[in-house]
Amino acid sequence: MAPLSPLQARPNSDEDLARVEAALRAAAVTNDDFLTEVTSHLIPAGGKRLRPAFVIASALALDPDGAAPGAVTNDMVCGGVAVELVHLGSLYHDDVMDDAQTRRGIEAVNHRWGNLKAILAGDFLLAKASELAASLGTEVAALLAATIGRLCEGQVRELQLIYDINRTEEQYLLAIRGKTAELYATACRIGGLVAGADRDVLERLSTFGRAYGMAFQIVDDVLDLVASDEELGKPSGNDLREGVYTLPVIRMLAGGHPVADLLGHPMDDSQRDQARAVVVAGSEIATSVTTARDYAADALEALSGFEATPGIVGMRGAASNLPGALGSLATGPAVSGAGRL
């Protein structure tokens, strides 16, 4: 089961996302045909476009007529594209750091064209995001720039602890807040800013997005362990192989589990599969899902008291559904129905 879009309460949400898609493709066009090919490479591969959907849903949070066909403005779409471009640019850079071969079921940019071109294309996407944000006002521009900085901080926190079997839960949570949750918080805040929401509403939307983002990353990290290669669109267990020890692994290590003997160094496919099987068989998968549910509950609490507009209904549904994206969590190396986030 994939996570639900926060636009689920809009009967014409497919049209909304089609507008985002068209604007996203247009934003990736450059004055150089080759660079355009590289910057556009991942866009046709899809993705749920959750971040732009949260921009739009948040912008409609206070609009009781938010289900109307004309409720989504060009500024809402522009804000959504800016946030998605930051996400795409970060994926280009992440794949360089991970020496990834695939992304979203297709060849990764760095694998096809090399690291230098992937880095430059990622830089272009981030620059284009900043340009679009500036068109929405100085506050949006400053917010997105600060968020890009937080993404870098979160990624550095993670890189400093590669292959570290002593990585703590606190260190993990700080890293995912920076590299994932802050962009969701920004998506929701940009939606509120575009709609002219007051400060209290902006803070509550940001709190929602941050808590949702924490839950999202924990779920995504669990999926890396329990889903199949085909469901993920990339090799499963890749975090283990790259030495990025996520919440289930950290909890298992903290409990003194002998899985520590398998970790702490680079590993081949066989060693990765052995370590993955040990983690999947442990109780820490279930406790990590519980933590994701707790963050999802925090997200829902941030929206308490809001009128049940189409935007709010969609956001509540997205948060409530998120842990369900893991399917049944039956024991074994893959979970039926798990999918890419």
Residue 183 lies inside a defined structural domain of this protein:
yes
Q: Reply yes or no on whether the pLDDT at 100 is more than 90.
A: no
Q: Reply yes or no on whether the pLDDT at 33 is more than 60.
A: yes
Residue 339 lies inside a defined structural domain of this protein:
no
Written as one letter, the residue type at 88 is L
pLDDT band at 330 (very low <50, low <70, confident <90, very high): very low
Q: Are 190 and 77 in contact (CB under 8 A)?
A: no
What was the pLDDT predicted at 332? 39
Number of other CB atoms surrounding residue 329 within 10 Å: 15
pLDDT band at 235 (very low <50, low <70, confident <90, very high): confident
Q: Reply yes or no on whether the pLDDT at 339 is more than 60.
A: no
Q: Are 72 and 56 in contact (CB under 8 A)?
A: yes
Residue 84 lies inside a defined structural domain of this protein:
yes
Enclosing domain of residue 203: 13-320
Report the candidate in 180, 126, 81, 31 with the shortest Cα–Cα distance to residue 118. 126
Residue 335 lies inside a defined structural domain of this protein:
no
Residue 72 lies inside a defined structural domain of this protein:
yes
pTM over 0.85: yes
**Cα–Cα distance between 63 and 77 in angstroms, integer?**
16
Q: What is the pLDDT of residues 175-220, one digit of tens each?
A: 999 999 999 999 999 999 999 999 999 999 999 999 999 999 999 9
Q: Reply yes or no on whether the pLDDT at 338 is more than 50.
A: no
**Cα–Cα distance between 303 and 158 in angstroms, integer?**
30
Residue 85 CA, chain-centre distance (Å), reads 12
Residue 341 lies inside a defined structural domain of this protein:
no
Which 3 state secondary structure label does DSSP give 203?
A: helix
Write out the H or E segment, with its range, that includes residue 78: helix 74-98
Domain count, the chain: 1
266-285 mean pLDDT: 95
Q: How distant, in Å, are the alpha carbons of 41, 91, 158, 185, 233 from that of 108?
A: 9, 9, 21, 27, 11
Q: Reply yes or no on whether the pLDDT at 128 is more than 50.
A: yes
CATH code for the domain in which residue 240 is found: 1.10.600.10
What was the pLDDT predicted at 329? 46
Residue 338 lies inside a defined structural domain of this protein:
no
Q: What is the pLDDT of residues 47-92, one digit of tens each?
A: 789 999 999 999 999 999 999 999 999 999 999 999 999 999 999 9
Residue 337 lies inside a defined structural domain of this protein:
no
